[in-house]
Amino acid sequence: MIKCNIFWFRRDLRLNDNHGLYRALQSDLPVIPLFIFDREILGRLDNPGDPRITFIYDEISRLKQELESLGSSLLVLYGRPSEVFEEILSKYPINAIYTNHDYEPYAVWRDEAVHQILRERNISFFSFKDQVIFEKNDVIKDDGTPYTVFTPYSRKWKVLFRQSALPQYPSEKLQEFFFKTLPLEMPTLDRIGFNRSNYTFTERLVDELLISNYDKTRDFPYLEGTSRLGLHLRFGTISIRFLAGTAARLNEVYLSELVWREFYMMILWHFPYAAKGAFKPAYDRIPWKNDERQFQTWCDGNTGYPIVDAGMRELNHSGYMHNRLRMITASFLTKHLLIDWRWGEAYFEKKLLDFELASNNGGWQWAAGTGCDATPYFRVFNPDLQAQKYDPDNIYIRKWVPEFKDKTYPPRMVDHAQARINAISIYQNAIRK
């Protein structure tokens, strides 16, 4: 068998505009496309019907069919990546592994473990920037240190973005270089420990009219005013370069949302401790109440605040929550109930189809006031004012909390005014110690 290279799909489940795949297909050797259902990641999921696994499984099946139409296939395996590569290397004469960067703490550790196996066999490991426009030290201050405030980061990001053309990686034009002889079977959902979900997933369609009006519609949860492409960005079924280019042409506010995503990725890269603790360590001293009964009431959407409950019920039912509601519900949990932001972060991690560690962590720390923010602890959202401003006719609330004016609707867990006073006092005392 002739030598070949491997392209390892991870958060880039597409054949077009794929940087690492493009580089692999430019090599002088045929390319084996590979996807690994990672036992380490799947083992952390406690819901056998987790809809994200169905989404990934269907996208992998789609990729496999596309590759088979080109006379190749997709090698799909299940296990721990280091063990899977040991098995692959015993079967195929591999020259090099190609993939795209992944920046989360587990991914960094996983890639180093695989790289070590390859080094011992003198096999090259090439990784490329693909899921972001700018990474790591691409956008830093003039003194070489990372930004910790969004506004100046965003300003610098946009300057750099407009100074250079988006790179082009037309991997779809090099498909004749795929390895031809591969096994056709792939492990079933049951084999990897999951059941098929009946969730409805959004399509990877970029609605240019919606993006053009994004700044006018994005804050109103009763409108179809957001792109719902977070799931596709998370798993790379759409190209960030294509989406950023579209946003730059159509709507500056939408582009800024993409910059927020990269800002939080950069924060977690430079300050990995923030994945488990407060970005501002003084806020780890907050004496959270952590009432389990109140936490469950929040999870179930029975707080007595209709806008909060609507957001939580939408999340529980659909795996999606409008971004305005993510801020409102997170603020309520951390400020009104004084429950540790990490509890809410973990709940969103379980439920959100578009869960992305950096964005979820950054959003929760923003709401809790523990993250990168100049005015943290005294920002306490008033749920009633938020509802009046962003759902004035109760359209969104009626959809998810139809009983909100009935006697059956639960009384409010806490009084907003008193909860706000308590939160500010507790925060002040904690960070001044």
Give the DSSP letter of residue 140.
Answer: B
Taking the C-alpha atoms of residue 130 and residue 102, their distance in angstroms, rounded to an integer, is 9
Give the DSSP letter of residue 94.
Answer: E
257 assigned to active site: yes
Q: Which among 289, 382, 284 has a CA at the least distance from the CA of 327?
A: 382
List the catalytic residue out of 8, 157, 343, 364.
Answer: 364
List the catalytic residue out of 157, 260, 366, 400.
Answer: 260
- Give residue for tokens 């609330």: 397
Tally helices (H) and strands (E) across the chain.
19, 5
288 assigned to active site: yes
Taking the C-alpha atoms of residue 374 and residue 138, their distance in angstroms, rounded to an integer, is 24
The full DSSP string for 44-80 is: T---TT-HHHHHHHHHHHHHHHHHHHTT---EEEEE-
Angle between helices 341-351 and 292-300 (to 10 degrees): 40
Q: Which among 313, 370, 311, 316 has a CA at the least distance from the CA of 338?
A: 370
31-38 and 75-79 beta bridge pairing = parallel
At 200 the three-state DSSP class reads: coil
366 assigned to active site: no
List the catalytic residue out of 86, 135, 172, 257.
Answer: 257
| Amino acid in the structure at residue 307 | I
List the catalytic residue out of 16, 95, 316, 323.
Answer: 323
Taking the C-alpha atoms of residue 258 and residue 254, their distance in angstroms, rounded to an integer, is 7
At 95 the three-state DSSP class reads: strand
List the catalytic residue out of 341, 343, 366, 400.
Answer: 341
Mind telling me the catalytic residues? 257, 260, 288, 323, 341, 364
